[in-house]
Amino acid sequence: MTDLETRAIPARSGALRRAAPALLGYAAVRALGLLVLALWSAARDKSAYTLLTARWDSLWYQRVAERGYGYEVRLPNGDVHSDLAFFPLLPWLERLGAAVSPLSHAGAGFVVSLLASLAAAWGIFAVADHVYGRRAGVCAVLLWAVLPVGIVQSMAYSESLFTALAAWSLYAVLTGRWVTAGVLALLSGLTRPVGLAVVAAVWAAGVVSYGRHRSAVDEHGARAAPRALGMILAPLGAAGYVLWVGHRTGKGPLGYLDVQAGWRNGFDGGWAFARFVAEKFTSFPSALAGLGLIAGVALVAWLYAVCVRQRQPLPLLVYAGIVTALALCASSYFGSKPRLLLPAFPLLLPLARALAGLRTSRSALVAAGVAVASAVYGAVWLNGSGPP
């Protein structure tokens, strides 16, 4: 345990009981979202299950699970979409699920996401409870559940799996469990490229901890060796996959960047996104969308500034900052940015603290109203343009 700890760690036997209200609330919100999606899809002669498991990125993950890597699509404009862009942990779990059960790879991916979303909700609660208390923890989970694109948490995508690994890794850092933090960071690095944010959080906390406790044993009796081991383990997942892609493509350590370039993904500091927003002001109807995008970015920036002002623990600030920067400053498909921000749950903690300060009846009413709006939005969105 380290100086990062601010509250006592609940006994293991009582941890689930303590998180139960958050998990039950989360399950209720997600059940509502799935019910509304099923009804909305049925009214349009579409399959909600297909929308959740067999469209967009889900198909790429399933192909990797079924056949391994090596598939690519060459577009008329010369772009090459390679399955090497998709990190392997979710396909591995889909393959395992299909091998040990009667589920298809799509079904296994759906089950993985459902279970991972619950694990993510528990991890978010654990982090928020540890820093701000139980009531804020429950509110943080509910806010994450009712995000406008929260339906993605129930899709056969990697967002829920990644958020679960990231949240529990951050909790392990906050409670001084360095080896656990490193292993979970390693796994997050096998899930999504933004796993680097988890690695950076572990390293930032480790470096600060070393600076404050130069002796072999810190004030809590934790030896320096586990901390060093956790820091060594953390980057191995992301580094291992990136190096493997470079070897497979024959383009060296930076081969993965070429794969992403084939999808027109890259980091340009937000220039492409800024141009995209500016183009919205060429006509009146689209100008409203442009104003909405500017307001959304301003809200995200304001929330991060509040996180800094409220002196969130360093690992949370590092993690949320990198996730946010990669989401907003990448040149990828702009409609995916809200989905890419899903793992940045520390941004919700200021709102969770504010919601926790309300009367229980009032906060429950607010959460219920937003949950209904989120469920309707998710159903309309997934039946429309949906997440790329």
**Calpha distance 367→356 (Å, rounded):** 11
C-alpha to C-alpha distances, 186 to 167, 240, 263, nearest whole angstrom: 13, 9, 25
Can you say whether the dihedral through the CA atoms of 88, 231, 167, 221 is positive or negative?
positive
- Weakest-pLDDT range from 59-68, 183-192, 333-342: 333-342
To the nearest 10 degrees (0 to 180), the angle between helices 236-249 and 255-262 is: 80
pLDDT at 11 over 80: no
What pLDDT digit, counting tens, does each position of 92-102 carry? 999 999 999 99
What pLDDT digit, counting tens, does each position of 254-312 carry? 899 999 988 888 787 777 778 878 887 887 777 887 888 889 899 999 999 999 999 99
Domain range annotation of the chain: 16-263+360-383
What pLDDT digit, counting tens, does each position of 300-354 carry? 999 999 999 999 999 999 999 999 999 998 877 767 888 999 999 999 999 999 9
**Calpha distance 324→315 (Å, rounded):** 14
What pLDDT digit, counting tens, does each position of 204-223 carry? 999 998 777 664 454 444 56
pLDDT for the residue 10: 57
CA torsion angle for 123, 388, 375, 19 (degrees, to 10)?
A: 0
Find, among 120, 57, 40, the residue nearest to 387 by Cα.
57
pLDDT for the residue 293: 86
Q: Which helix (H) or strand (E) holds 159?
A: helix 159-174
Q: Is residue 165 within 8 Å of residue 115, measured between CB atoms?
A: no
pLDDT for the residue 386: 76
**Calpha distance 172→201 (Å, rounded):** 11
Q: Is residue 18 within 8 Å of residue 129, measured between CB atoms?
A: yes
pLDDT at 120 over 50: yes
